Structure 1
Amino acid sequence: MPNDNPLKHLNLGQTTAYPTEYDAGQLKAVPRALNREPIGIRDAQLPFDGVDYWTGYEISWLNEQGLPQVAVGYFSVPASTPNLIESKSFKLYLNSFNESRFSHWQQVQRLMQRDLSNCAGGAVEVELRALTDVTGETVDDLPGQLIDHQDIRITHYDYDPGLLQVVSTTPVQQQYKSHLLKSNCLITNQPDWGSVYIHGTGPQLDTASLLRYLVSFRRHNEFHEQCVERIYQDLFALGFAQLSVYARYTRRGGLDINPFRSNFEQAPAVKRLARQ
């Protein structure tokens, strides 16, 4: 019987040989439509704009004299691209630079921009920064009202949008944050820890129900980008005219993933959070 699993090409969950030289072929694409169509999103008519912001903390290569170079990388993948970039393949790709020689930083940056854009199917922005340029940056926080310390009982740890409740249908502007988001990798089931920011104008959310809903992702298996879009769709369905959802996940293998989706604003200017 043929294996028609659309994710069978991924390295996740498999024993993997780490590359010893630069190899763009390590990158693997995952069609965003695989998750979007089941939750009512069509790529041709996205209900939001957005970007997947990645930070790479384990980036290195050799200069022409064989001297290791190190950098922090900032990658911006538009939500409008047809593919997301599978995280393990991204790590393997970055590792493929470790023992390869390049004449200058700009060459490495251009290569990464070309390869990641080809994988995502659209223009990806890449910025490599020297450690001296980021030393001294402070730990940041998301804006909004923290909803994590409510005295409530929680019993649901399986995804349930039915937990969401509204206090009033009169539209109000709201801005919330929680550090209690946890989901699991779609392939390996490894935990993904994150903080989430919700901002918009719509029916007044019951904050206890919002927290219960976010905690219900605790056993949910889905990629970071897909969880954020699911949260967006569930909240938008309640009647939000304006809505932003932004999650910042902790790093694994030297990479953190920070998906942002909104129909009215840019992402808040946030540097890394305490757990990043």
Structure 2
Amino acid sequence: MSKQSPFAREDVMEDYLDSLLKEPAVSVDISANQVVSDNVEVDDATVRAAKLLEQASQHIADEPVVKCDVPLSQNVEIIEPAVASEKSTAVEDELNIEEVQIRETRVEDDITPADENAAHAQTKIALKDSLDFRFQALFFEVAGLTLAVPLTTLGGIHQIDKIAPLFGKPDWFMGVMLHRESKLNVVDSAKWVMPEKYNEALAESLDYRYLIMLGESAWGLASEKLVNTVNLTKDDVKWRESTGKRPWLAGMVKEKMCALIDVEELISMLNKGLGSNDQTP
């Protein structure tokens, strides 16, 4: 079966991303060496996936590092979520743990759910403002559309295994995938991101292989292909200029025709059961 994609031409993809941002079109020139072949073997994809995150982690200072200790010849789980290094000594822990627990208890007693929502709204920072001028992002593909997640908000990458469907969930919710003792929520990325282009032919052509984990949440985006880890600057991104619809879309990486995801906004929408085009409260 031939690969079905709604973005057979570059100009179609550009127009689509621009329509999501609702801003004038940007001229795009993409070179041939930026295009990844559709005929990559499974083993080659596994090798690339293992290397690209390991390479990227070496350039992120003072951030959780995404590690990969998997033998490259095996078709197994690729990337584990980052684990923060422990810098405090045992003596410091013993002296401070009781005081910290007391403070946390007092704060929890004083905060109501309404206060929590208000505090979240006040402290929320736009992705553009939270990133350094130079940052790295993982590029991956879904139905011919390239998506990007900043490495600072990437929770890990897993190979997709058996998914157990659940009743009473949105149609874009594929089900739950067990990983060790964790239950990971798998999102049909094509159906969630571009429901207006999703049809039976597209659904049958999808070949999801990887699960892109979002931050520290249990949500993961199903992906067909891991493209690369890319060095970017804020000037490389055409940032959204208005709030409201599609808050998950932080902007478009202009020279690569790629949608940059605001992971925190996306997690918030998924937690509320919202689709990509739904208006947030």
**Normalising by structure 1, what TM-score?**
0.24
Instruction: Select the structure that is richer in helix.
Output: 2
Question: Relative to total residues, which structure has the larger strand share, 1 or 2?
Answer: 1
> TM-score, normalised to structure 2's length?
0.23
